[in-house]
A and B are shown apart, each in its own frame.
Chain A
């Protein structure tokens, strides 16, 4: 796992602890890697374990649950509570999406409910049994699904004009930007293709007229080379857009989405 990836994940997992504690913990692990040096960075991250595990260790410390926790053996730290959440499920299911989902839910509420409060005597039972499934079931919201659905429908109907306005404008903006990007790609693609075709045609023509009129042929060769040059430039530009700019755009959008949802959660908690 790369360094940025590790810290992004860790920061995300610790978003609900006090800012000061989070900064402190992240600074410790960042400094640690800086001390290890760039050559040993990867090995150190490997040795840290998954971000879920490190987050669990940091949280256990905050909750004061570490005192009677696990023990340190020559094989490393032995505390069932700090095993990677959902590690068993991850072993069973090798679909990558499934693995992500289970890891996510394991490090969420259910893990807190079950993981920390487990005393040393019950150690080991934390993840093996499906007890956090039952915890989740107990916490069922008091409203029924049907009622919620009706409320949602009423809300949507009532807010329809507003939603239509905002939604319409937003949709328009998104469509506009998407069309712009698509348009640019199409134009570059066409120009590249045209330059290539012109270049190749003139090259062929140049060879044909080589004997009949060498001067014309020379001109054709010149233009052909220029055309192919322009085509190559276009291809590079196209590659830059498709392979670099679009993924960048996508990543930025995902980041923005994550940021908005994080802020939203904070607002809801306050």
Chain B
């Protein structure tokens, strides 16, 4: 594809992916889920997750799994509000773009 995904959109996608799991989800799974939508390298989500955590959009907790530690990321109330904002913004934005393309004469 030729379109870029900006930092805000990526934040929105990550928040949306995390919001689907009420109990939270972990880095590997988030990356795999995001990769279903956009092609990112497996190393890129770490700073994004950290930033969202720093901005209080995500909270983490550790749980033992299979003899090792697994860090879960969970949406906070701030994160939920942020996601709501991203979602409505995206609906408006993508709606406009879609209409333009629908009306285009090709």
Nearest-neighbour CB distance to chain B for A263, whole angstroms, equals: 28
Contact of A77 among B26, B41, B71 (CB under 8 A): B41
Contacts of A60 in B (CB 8 A): 47
Q: Is the interface of A mostly helix, strand, loop or mixed?
A: helix
Contacts of A61 in B (CB 8 A): 46-47, 50-51
Q: List residues of chain B with CB under 8 Å of any chain A CB.
A: 1-7, 9-10, 26-29, 31, 38-44, 46-51, 68-71
Q: Contact between A47 and B7 (Cβ–Cβ < 8 Å)?
A: no
Contact of B43 among A35, A57, A71 (CB under 8 A): A57
Q: Contact between A34 and B41 (Cβ–Cβ < 8 Å)?
A: no
Q: A49-B41, A72-B38, A74-B1 are in contact. Are A66 and B26 (CB under 8 A)?
A: no
Nearest-neighbour CB distance to chain B for A78, whole angstroms, equals: 7
Interface size on A, residues (CB 8 A): 32
Contact of A35 among B1, B9, B28, B46 (CB under 8 A): B28
Q: Contact between A77 and B28 (Cβ–Cβ < 8 Å)?
A: no
Contacts of A24 in B (CB 8 A): 50
Q: Report the Cα distance A166→B86, complex, angstroms.
A: 67
Contacts of A53 in B (CB 8 A): 43
Contacts of B27 in A (CB 8 A): 28, 31-32, 35
Q: Report the Cα distance A61→B53, complex, angstroms.
A: 12
